A and B are shown apart, each in its own frame.
Chain A
């Protein structure tokens, strides 16, 4: 297993000192060092406001970072700038599933057009070549070819989630970042989605980084866990290690909370 992504000293600094008559708000994320192997699943856990979503957005380049660099397949990106040409390559390789899949779909544009967008902007394919690709992708994520013509309001939450997934893997990325992809789904759809992602991961060999509050799923699918608190990584390690021998106070708290929910004999 080789490293496909290397993150060095990724820092984000946010200070809101200009506010009048208000406490200055200072938030610093990182510096974060992270290495991701091919086909690996990494879970990011932590309390609210720990900077998990921010880290995800920094990784895909939705928000420019203050410092640091991301190395992908020996191709370095400065995380600070997202110039158009380097950005192009980055959209190819790191893709994201946003937290609210329903809000990340344009209500006035049919699913086919939404899925067409990454192809249209990042590849040289003609329209006639793109359509079969989109239809293939729709069936791959468990939708029908008809859904090409559907709008957001005609789809259920689970289907919207599938569309978001299809959009993310349309360009065959190396790394997939997901911000709470399973939060809004009911247990059946959730396990379907989990299985779907695991299957796609095997097929495409993509690394999957996801944020979740559901430690059950984390334990089930993650290879490695990152625990964050106040914008820093406080603990990092193999899933079983973290669950059995949590070191940091935050990790202990989280794992304990999880164990109190699950009957003891299932954990062991």
Chain B
């Protein structure tokens, strides 16, 4: 027992404080976060920020070049497309649809995948194996094919393609969660908690789940970038979002018709998809190393 009494530290950094401090050290991750934040702001506040209605057609101003070109004008920042719609507004709404649906799909897939994976990890023997490989058949088929099958049955549309991609994302989560729960359950601190009288549910919530953040962040960002690419690919192939809907892939497909006349109609949505996916990956990578540093400094 200490013979002297010390003042207690007034401030104890919470786990999130520590993660943020470690995250801040990487400049690339911070830049990625700013870019991703910009996309999120554009998506959330698109109705307020966008200068035009994304579907309003301006017959007088077809294929106006972007503002930095010689014949461009500042009133249409990214120019207009073949129907005279403002490209900047369309891309802003496109981020909203692509990023928003991507996030929705990943959260859904994560919830389903992690619960099934945990179940598989906690079960033993054949039952565990069956649960684990329940959705494995989906992994053999590319997302695009699943989407085509679903679209063939239910018809084209953004929601139908979202179901296809969500289904395709789930098996990865199941496998990673099961493997993680398995390896974690063998460790001694689980035994220690078990000796405290914790049942399986309590073990999972209080002992395994806190350790799972790193895995979830890695898998989540990976899944998010896959989801964004897939949803725009399906939009581009006219299987997902239809061309009236401002979705990044669909905008790209629209621009393809006039690619020689107005290359910005292809380049700008393409660059947007690229930067979006890149920033997601950079932020995910930064978060992962920050979480790892938090645990082992």
Contacts and interface: CB of A to CB of B under 8 A. Distances in A.
Interface in B280-297: 295-297
A139 B1 contact: yes
Interface in A136-159: 139-140, 142, 144-146, 149, 151, 153-154
A106 B189 contact: yes
Nearest to A164: B192
B21 to A, nearest CB: 14
Contacts of A225: none
A62 B195 contact: yes
A186 interface: no
Contacts of B1: 139-140, 142
Contacts of A91: 195-197
A87 B197 contact: yes
A105 interface: yes
B18 to A, nearest CB: 9
Given A109-B206, A121-B202, A151-B295, A104 B6 contact: no
A104 B198 contact: no
Given A108-B211, A109-B210, A103 B195 contact: no
B194 A105 contact: no
A174 interface: no
Interface stretch (A7-15, A64-72, A92-100, A206-214): A92-100
A167 B295 contact: no
B199 to A, nearest CB: 7
Nearest to A90: B197
Interface string A89-132: 00100011011100111111100010001100110000000000
A88 interface: yes
Most A C-beta atoms less than 10 A away, residue of B207, B213, B297 = B207
Contact of A146 (B9, B202, B296): B9
A84 interface: yes
Nearest to B209: A108
Contact of A117 (B6, B196, B211, B297): B196
B211 A122 contact: no
A184 B295 CA distance: 22
Interface string B189-223: 10111111111001000110011010000000000
A103 B6 contact: no
Contacts of A88: 197
A62 B195 CA distance: 7
B189 A122 contact: no
A60 interface: yes
Contacts of B195: 60-62, 91, 95-96
Nearest to A117: B196
B2 A142 contact: yes
A108 B2 contact: no
Nearest to A60: B195
Contacts of A167: 192, 196
Nearest to B12: A149
A98 B187 CA distance: 12
A144 B2 contact: yes
Nearest to A109: B210
A126 to B, nearest CB: 17
A163 B262 CA distance: 68
Interface in B1-50: 1-2, 6, 8-9, 12
Contacts of B199: 84
A48 to B, nearest CB: 19
A105 B194 CA distance: 12
The 3 residue pairs across chains A and B that have the minimum distance between CB atoms: A108-B210, A149-B12, A103-B188
Given A61-B195, A87-B197, A118-B197, 5 more contacts: A91-B197, A103-B188, A105-B189, A106-B193, A108-B211
26 contacts: A62-B195, A84-B199, A87-B197, A95-B195, A98-B191, A100-B188, A103-B188, A104-B192, A105-B189, A105-B192, A107-B189, A107-B295, A108-B211, A109-B207, A109-B210, A117-B198, A117-B206, A118-B196, A142-B2, A144-B2, A144-B8, A145-B8, A146-B8, A151-B295, A153-B295, A167-B196
